[in-house]
Amino acid sequence: MAKITASMVKELREITGAAMMDCKRALTETNGDLEEAKENLRKKGQAIANKKSSRETKEGGISIYTGENVISMVKIACETDFVAINDKFKNFLSAVGKQVAETGVEGYVAKTTEDGTDAKELFVTTIAGLGENIVFLEGLDWKQAESGVFGGYVHSNGKIGAVIELVAEGIADQDAATNVAKDIAMHIAASHVEAISESDLDPAVIEKEKAFLIDQAKDSGKPMEIIEKMVVGRLKKFKKEICLLDQNFVKDPSQSISDLLKAKGKELGGQFKVNKFHKFSF
């Protein structure tokens, strides 16, 4: 029987991410053979993952990864808040975000079903290590547009995340431009935003709200021509409240997002426009 040393256990733990006692047990069962112990842990981890796969996941976290000319955001569920705030789960989120940025969402999801891939191994060992079902819910990966600047923000509770891409035309200071993007991503995370501007709104959303406002106004007993005028005003307010450029900036409500972009663009010697944004939340 080979002697199982602390350095052997540490090495296996660094490779697999499994608990120290599980690593020691695997090495003991395989007479100190590192590769066999690794395979032993992989099989046990997969068995644990299979057992937990039907368990309900109500908690989770969001992570954003920014690389060279790419940004990703992932939303992953677990069973309890206790695990959601665990450092190991947070590190797992970050690792998945990086993998998604490198392979794309579709490529990443495909790899999680293939034996022997880093993506599947990470999932299996994390489920086994944390003892909960973990589910990849959704993700995105964007490649940077010409003159594009990314910004991302995850709320401190890890339950809300937002990413945005600005086009920074004529702006040389990329760090300053990135800070503007991050500020607006934070605003999106803290607000209800449906579209960049009124022209981007889904007509079905507007029609649904209009029908609701008409029904609501009918209760007033006023004539239809008055009701129609009331609805026009309320619908205008509704559009302003859900369009990013019209919203008041959360860090300085005295200016709109549109005003902020104009002011920052002028300050930095160019101009900003919003290319796209997205938000995930639990």
List the structure tokens of 121: 């191994």
Neighbours of 128 (CB within 10 A): 23
Question: What is the C-alpha separation between 40 and 52, in angstroms, rounded?
Answer: 19
Segments in the chain below pLDDT 70: 1, 17, 44-54
pLDDT score recorded for residue 134: 93
Q: Which CATH number fits domain 202-242: 1.10.10, 1.10.286, 3.30.1360, 1.10.260?
A: 1.10.286
pLDDT score recorded for residue 144: 96
202-242 and 6-52 share a CATH fold: no
Where helices occur in the chain by DSSP H, the ranges are: 6-16, 20-29, 34-52, 81-84, 87-103, 105-111, 118-130, 174-190, 203-218, 224-242, 257-267
pLDDT score recorded for residue 51: 54
| Fold annotation for 55-143 | Tetrahydropterin Synthase; Chain A (3.30.479)
pTM of the predicted model as reported, rounded to 2 decimal places: 0.78
Answer whether CATH 1.10.8.10 is correct for domain 6-52: yes
pLDDT score recorded for residue 137: 96
pLDDT score recorded for residue 50: 54
pLDDT score recorded for residue 66: 97
pLDDT score recorded for residue 195: 97
pLDDT score recorded for residue 26: 82
Cβ within 8 Å of residue 131, ≥6 positions away: 48, 52
